[in-house]
Chain A
Amino acid sequence: MKLSLKVWRQKNKEAEGQFKDYALSDISPDMSFLEMLDVLNEQLLAKGEDPVAFDHDCREGICGSCSMMINGKPHGPESMTTTCQLHMRKFKDGDNVVIEPWRASPFPVIRDLVVDRSAFDRIIQAGGFISVNTGNAQDGNTLPIPKPDADSAMDAAACIGCGACVAACKNASAMLFTAAKVSHLGYLPQGQPERQRRVLKMVEQMDGEGFGNCTNTNDCEAACPKGISVKNITRLNKDFLKATIFG
């Protein structure tokens, strides 16, 4: 396959960025998208040019590192698929492919396609945990948890923290990310004692990081490679309202 790439290049946080064009040939349809970028980088290195920097690690769709807009969509055209699991057979010979970093002011660009997502960590640090010291735990079966609750908690907990939800949202809202954690812990009996405090703290941090308000248009769910449901946002709103009134 032959491809024409338009890739965002930006030296560092302060520098101005720009798109650069690259032509690639002999791309195998069996390659993953990141392997295609590896090929580009090997060619750049051979010419003594700086490779395109991008975050990536497990390449199995679970670590949440990879993060790029491909033709205007977070993680590219395939639904429920991270960039590392996207394969070139989903593109056509001769395609133009535009590759950009996540665009959201709480995620500043560090270099090329690499952005700073530490705001997500700070949202979790604000309250996305159950306060239990090691050694405090009772036997795992002491508290039975109805299977549907455990399953719903698991579905919410499947979030990989990639940030596609923020990138997809025209308000750069982090509601889906925050709601997934609020919901995961809120479904479980262990999460109840801190339920109100948690939602208030996490929302406060989210707002403080500069993420926008929820648009209620569900672009986040559509872009989420793990299919996290917007129902979690409804749960967050309910919890938030309760905590505001009664907390």
Chain B
Amino acid sequence: MKLESNIPSGPIEQKWDKHRAEVKLVNPANKRKYRILVVGSGLAGASAAATLAELGYNVDCFTFHDSPRRAHSIAAQGGINAAKNYQNDGDSIFRLFYDTVKGGDFRAREANVYRLAQVSVNIIDQCVAQGVPFAREYGGNLTNRSFGGAQVSRTFYAKGQTGQQLLLGAYSALSRQISAGTVIMHTRKEMMELVLVDGHARGIVTRDLVSGNVESWAGDAVILATGGYSNVFYLSTNAMACNVTSIWRAHKKGAGLANPCFTQIHPTSIPQHGEYQSKLTLMSESLRNDGRVWVPMKANENRAPHDIPESERDYYLERKYPSFGNLSPRDIASRAAKEVCDEGRGVGPGGRGVYLDFSAAINRLGEKTIAERYGNLFEMYERITGENPYKIPMRIYPAPHYTMGGLWVDYNLMSTIPGLHVLGEANFSDHGANRLGASALMQGLADGYFVIPYTIGHYLAGVKPGSITNDHPEFKQAVEDVKGRISTFLSINGKRTTSSFHRELGMLMWNNCGMARSESSLKEALQRIPEIREEFWNNVNVVGSATELNTALEHAGRVADFLEFAELMCIDALQRDESCGGHFRTEHQTEDGEAKRNDEDFCHSSVWEYSGYTSKPTLHKEQLTFENVKLATRSYK
């Protein structure tokens, strides 16, 4: 496997322009001869499919949902960053670039991040033109808020539903192309396998989730925009169906997978309330603007929060990080919560929670003001927990939320498999070891609207269109492989449900490869995962048949891939013998318990190649160089 990042030469602010001038083009009359397969219809997939179709390519877009509008991008709340500097507060492309590189703890590729900051401004314009109802000032102009600890106001938002509105914008552009016949939309079809012909990505195999039909599709290039893998932890803020299958299948066919151990844990989720819990719900980070985080001073406290006097409360974020206090970055706030709960000072059922208390803000500003700011969030909290946060402090706990790792891509967003392009959360490129708030939406749309439409032509210009069809033997083989796998699931007839395995794996990953990791916890996990996997393949019970809508079968396929992927995640976490961003190795911390990077040995992206045997992947390194942002220690004290 050769890692050629194809970063253009020259000063960083000229790289993208220079590249656009140099990439090969496909002439308009030829574009209609090419067929591009796009898997996923979230922000990245829908925006890419729509834009490529507008350019004249034929596009097939696949989603396992009943409609492209259901993709999980829809659940993003906070907003989208763009270096518009409408607020005249000193923002610039360079500053957004700088913040993103620093926030990612210096583990992202400078050139990609700079381009992201550059195109961020075009995204807002495009979305406004589509009719995305961003929040506005009385004068009619777009308004911004500051978000995620940024020192400028650069976040655009549509109430607390920014992801929904941006996705519906991309969905409307996609719908327009579907009605024009340039995009063929395939709903309720799940990608099961990637097909390579002569080393190039040339197609996919899908299972129709209603009829059970296994079908193959050929194209001139494949785009994966299939999101992240937080559900490896079982409980996360991701939607139930989010999974690793498509990128894992591509990895097993030869695509390098980069930095799988970089996962983000969001500090403000509603804590787990019971064994049966299916997923975690995020509460917007904005709550930390007015809420104070605390736990009791003494362990195993059983008094109600009101009965605990001020002197016996520990406002630990304010104590440890006096200048950022309750607004400390996500990774830092999350670890601090874990620490106090590990000391037995957690609150609520199971002791895995901390208070987020609004009483001081209510006394200062009045209940009305707080209701104006957070009314909808308070309602959502009460609906889920049955507790009134105006009277009783909220309980929050960190939860897996986003994954920075993913398939390795070059500057053109192409993986190590020629023709296979990867967009959005599914790739590894822009967020390093920690993602800043309001940056995921930006990256998904940047990749889909403004990067891939330029860079895919560079690949296609060297490909003879339509040269491969799905009666090629490789397609037949891939279909047989998928069918074989499905019948294996159905023939095991064991005693345990898929969910029980998923839960077992998730708990292991959360405890041993979650907010904090150590050599011993990782080694333990690496021993346990193959054991769970083995039991799964011998003792899972998948009911029903292959030729019907079968949710048990769908889940089994996804969990089987998580059971392999989880091992790579732990191998990566063990190999990265440093702490950085969301990857916290307990052996590597400063005296105050902060992440301690090791730039000497780990200033690289770890790219794993599948060796044919899950437990023994081959490591390749892409060295990261920082020419425009000086390597420095993040400090939020």
Contacts and interface: CB of A to CB of B under 8 A. Distances in A.
A157 B74 CA distance: 13
B74 to A, nearest CB: 5
Closest 6 CB pairs of A and B: A144-B140, A129-B172, A137-B129, A137-B125, A154-B133, A140-B128
A62 to B, nearest CB: 5
A120 B171 CA distance: 12
Given A55-B66, A59-B239, A60-B75, A137 B137 contact: no
B239 A63 contact: yes
Nearest to B125: A137
B613 interface: no
A49 interface: yes
Interface in B127-164: 127-131, 133-142, 158-159, 161, 164
A222 B74 CA distance: 24
Given A50-B544, A118-B187, A140 B240 contact: no
Interface stretch (B272-280, B312-320, B470-478): B272-280
A131 interface: yes
A45 B551 CA distance: 11
A147 B140 contact: yes
A32 B240 CA distance: 14
Contacts of A185: 131
B291 to A, nearest CB: 20
A188 B131 contact: yes
A139 interface: yes
B390 interface: no
Contacts of B129: 130, 132, 136-138, 190
B240 A59 contact: yes
A35 interface: yes
Nearest to B128: A140
Residue picked from A78, A129, A185, most chain B C-beta under 10 Å: A129
A130 B129 CA distance: 8
Contact of A125 (B124, B158, B175, B282): B175
B74 A38 contact: no
A28 B548 CA distance: 32
B41 to A, nearest CB: 11
A6 interface: no
Given A129-B176, A137-B128, A190-B131, A39 B67 contact: no
Given A42-B499, A51-B543, A63-B75, A153 B175 contact: no
A130 B131 contact: yes
Contacts of B65: 57, 65
B178 interface: yes
Interface string B203-246: 00000001000000000000000000000000000011100000
Given A120-B67, A145-B136, A51 B552 contact: yes
Contacts of A135: 122, 126
B172 A147 contact: no
Interface string B163-177: 011001001110110
Contacts of A158: 159, 161, 164
A12 B133 contact: no
Contacts of B86: 141
B497 interface: yes
Interface of B: 47, 50-51, 54, 65-70, 72, 74-75, 84, 86, 122, 124-131, 133-142, 158-159, 161, 164-165, 168, 171-173, 175-176, 178-179, 185, 187, 210, 239-241, 273-274, 276-279, 281-282, 380, 383-386, 449-450, 453, 497, 499, 541, 543-544, 548-549, 551-552
B128 to A, nearest CB: 4
B524 to A, nearest CB: 28
Interface of A is mostly: loop
Interface string A40-78: 001001101111010111111111110000000000001
Nearest to B279: A59
A35 B175 contact: no
Contacts of A5: none
Interface stretch (A81-89, A92-100, A212-220, A239-247): A81-89
A45 B165 contact: no
A132 B66 contact: no
A57 B453 CA distance: 30
Interface string A195-207: 0000000000000
Contact of B69 (A30, A151, A161, A184): A161
18 contacts: A28-B273, A31-B276, A42-B499, A51-B551, A53-B551, A59-B240, A60-B282, A116-B66, A118-B67, A121-B67, A124-B171, A124-B172, A133-B51, A140-B142, A146-B138, A147-B136, A154-B133, A191-B131
B179 A126 contact: yes
Contacts of B127: 140
A202 to B, nearest CB: 11
Nearest to A61: B380
Contacts of A150: 133-136, 140
A148 to B, nearest CB: 9
Contact of B543 (A48, A160, A184): A48
A134 B276 contact: no
A123 to B, nearest CB: 9
A29 B125 CA distance: 46
A220 B159 CA distance: 23
A118 B548 CA distance: 19
B136 A190 contact: no
A103 interface: no
Contacts of A111: 210, 548-549
B383 A45 contact: no
A34 interface: yes
Contact of A129 (B75, B135, B175, B453): B175
Contacts of A235: none
Nearest to B548: A12
Contact of B497 (A45, A87, A141, A160): A45
A170 interface: no
B502 to A, nearest CB: 12
B383 to A, nearest CB: 6
A51 B555 CA distance: 12
Interface in A135-179: 135-141, 143-147, 150-151, 153-154, 157-158, 160-161
